[in-house]
Amino acid sequence: MNRQRISTLSKQSTSHVTYIMSSSFRVLDNHSLYYAKTEYETCDIIILRIHENKRQNEYFESFIIDLTDKLKQFGNVSIVNGIKDIKFSNDIVIDKGYLKEKREIENYIKLNSSYSVTVIESNVLVPVEVVSNKEEYSARTIRPKIHKHLYNFIDPVLEEYNISSFERNAIQHVKHFIDEKLIHYDLKNHPEYEYTSNISVYLKYGIISPVRILILLDDCKLNNKESFIEELIIRRELSYNFIYFNKVYYDFNYITYEWAYQSMNVHKFDEREYIYEIDDYVNFKTHDKYFNTAMKEMVLLGKMHGYMRMYWCKKIIEWSRTYKEAYNICIYLNNLYFLDGNTPNGYNGVAWCFGKHDRAWGQRSIFGKLRYMNENGLKRKFDIEGYIDKIEKEVKNDGSSKTYNID
């Protein structure tokens, strides 16, 4: 294990450690678990249950039972509902978190434990502060900084231990993508096809590590390999950089650049032809059939193709009374319905639609200098009618989605 994964290190004070599993819900390539096992004589493992939306909670519960069983190889295992249910009676190891709620957990432990607390980064390839000491402007600025360290952090651990069924599923999923879909990855922005990796849920819960995915890619000779690594590592870890260094990443007033705010201010009173409410969106009642289809994919299936996510957010900007209202609606829907919602990628993706990590474009009504998207662009770039047919078939085949209600 590369020791630079240790984000916070205190002098050991006990021979027994408690590993609080809060982000890396796996055995294989879990550097926090590896540290707890190799640096201490004995360890206990506490799984910190995540409470999010109904869809996410059901998914979490579906993999946690088998994972609990596999973790018994290392010590006693328990599941708790909140950090305040944990009694600190020895040293602590915990996964590094980036979102506000995960940072609050980390800070709570540091404030309330009188023992050593070690924080380890295991869900990004290159630790955020190894890459940079500031919020990066774009993929262009962070790319060389990540590539400088890239192969120093392919550091697999715990390969000799039994892994959970969901970890095996994740590995098989990635292998299938490499063998069958990566050759078509240049068509990843065509939502009528299925050529994206669809690994965001596995990454969200730390069921598979970027380290393992790069290892699985090692023998691949396809030209699309580097394009996929760009998405998996550069773009994803740009999102983590944003969340980590921007402590108010969730506040509309701090998500983007001054040029974007100035442009929005100039156009804040532009006439909106349509104004929609959240109920219109989730009941598929806008005038735009392409947007409505994207919302069906979100509400009924818990996902949305990445290109349509951009279109989805841009339309909400166009149909909202204010830019702040649009931002809040997008974040609300993102975190309420997406199985991979409430992640650095989710917050960064919405911020991108407001100019983050993008450039200024030509002036136009409502959007000002923000990048604009419309249905004609969809028609030019891919078979948008094919996308509609695909989603309608998926919804029809997914019987549970028709009656899916979100708490």
Q: What pLDDT, in 10s, does the model give residues 157-171?
A: 999 999 999 999 999
The two structure tokens encoding residue 104: 């609050």
pLDDT of residue 399 exceeding 70: no
Q: Mapping DSSP to helix (H, G, I), strand (E, B) and coil, where does residue 256 land? A: coil
Q: What secondary structure does DSSP assign to 127-170, as a single string?
A: -HHHH-SS--SSHHHHHHHHHTTGGGG-----TTS---HHHHHH
**What pLDDT, on the 0 to 100 scale, is given for residue 403?**
46
Mean model confidence pLDDT for the chain: 94
- Provide CATH code, domain 252-403: 1.10.579.10
State which fold the 131-245 domain adopts.
Answer: 1.25.40
Could you state, in order of their start, the residue ranges of all structural domains in the chain?
Answer: 3-126, 131-245, 252-403
Domain made up of 3-126: CATH architecture: 3-Layer(aba) Sandwich (3.40)
**What pLDDT, on the 0 to 100 scale, is given for residue 397?**
87
pTM confidence score: 0.94
Q: What secondary structure does DSSP assign to 160-223, as a single string?
A: TS---HHHHHHHHHHHHIIIIIGGGGGGTT-TTS--S---HHHHHTTSS-HHHHHHHHTT---T
| pLDDT, tens digit, 9 for 90 and up, residues 51-80 | 888 899 999 999 999 999 999 999 999 999
**What pLDDT, on the 0 to 100 scale, is given for residue 407?**
47
| pLDDT, tens digit, 9 for 90 and up, residues 122-152 | 999 999 999 999 999 999 999 999 999 999 9
